[in-house]
Amino acid sequence: MSPRTTKSAAKNAAKNKTDEIFIPDKLYFRIGEVATLCRLPAYVLRFWESEFPQLKPVKSSTGQRMYRRRDVESVLRIKQLLYDQGFTIVGARQQLRSETKSDKGQAAIPFPAQSPAEIQRIRQGLREILNLLSTRRMG
């Protein structure tokens, strides 16, 4: 095997490890736990907080950073963009922003379609409730 082949194989193996990270089922993670899980130094996580608005861990009463599951997932995605896919920080920020926009479009719940007759029935019911409430106030 040539050194180039070994290097790309190692990179692919590292990429697969990023995809296979198991995030424990917890509400909050301390920065040290996230650093260990994501195989990153804590100072990198603190720096990324200043560069990526999506990454906003809450602070505990003692001032410790408490990452939620979605924060850990964001860290892993940022790591993938920067380390595996070769994005710059600015490029990764734009990529995450565009992913968030497209996710919001897909996540929208359609308003249930009602027949005109059903809408009329609902309106009539609301009018009756309004009449009941207004006669109670006057009486």
Q: Do residues 131 and 125 make contact, with C-beta atoms less than 8 angstroms apart? A: no
User: Which domains occur in the chain, in start order?
Assistant: 3-103 (1.10.1660.10)
Per-residue pLDDT at 95 exceeds 90: yes
Over residues 41-64, the mean pLDDT reads 93
Query: Residue 90: is its pLDDT beyond 50?
Result: yes
What value does the mean pLDDT take over residues 30-45? 96
pLDDT of residue 122: 87
- Tally helices (H) and strands (E) across the chain: 6, 3
DSSP 81-111: IIIIS---HHHHHHHHHHHHHHHHHHHPPPP
Residue 33 pLDDT grade (very low, low, confident, very high; cuts 50, 70, 90)? very high
Rounded CA-CA distance 24/26 in Å is: 6
Q: Is the pLDDT of residue 93 over 70?
A: yes
What average pLDDT does the segment 80-92 reach? 95
